[in-house]
Amino acid sequence: MGEDVEELRGVLSVVSKEIPAMIKGIIGSVFSEEAGRDMGKAAAAFYKELKDAGMPEETAVKMTENYVSVFSSFGEVMKSAVSGKKKGEDVGEEISRKIKEKLAEKGIGVEEE
């Protein structure tokens, strides 16, 4: 069982470091200069399609604003996942704590470092 605990400790260590780094990478790609240009092009194409289809100006603008807000909302969710802390914990610590809770429910104890 000692080997299992050590293996689990290693897995928890990797998870607590890799997931926040992965989320930060996603945020970086969402908020990069290139992503901004791509979002602008996508919004312009969306608006143009609405207008070409005969959509009234006010409706096309409102729908385009909603379209862009989806990207902004996603970015905000990702930022809060990385920077938001729950009771002083970072994302990795929160994940590690949750895994330990689930293991404890199954009667598997994990020694603290």
3-class secondary structure for the chain? CHHHHHHHHHHHHHHHHHHHHHHHHHHHHHCCHHHHHHHHHHHHHHHHHHHHCCCCHHHHHHHHHHHHHHHHHHHHHHHHHHHCCECCECHHHHHHHHHHHHHHHCCCCCCCC
Residue 70: inside a domain? yes
Q: With 70 as the cut, is the pLDDT of residue 14 above it?
A: yes
Indicate whether 113 belongs to any domain.
Answer: no
Q: Is residue 29 part of a domain?
A: yes
Full domain range(s) for residue 58 = 2-82+90-105
Residues 79-112 have pLDDT tens digits of 666 665 544 456 566 666 777 777 777 666 655 5
- Give the model confidence (pLDDT) of 38-65 as tens digits: 888 999 999 999 999 999 999 999 999 9
Number of domains in the chain: 1
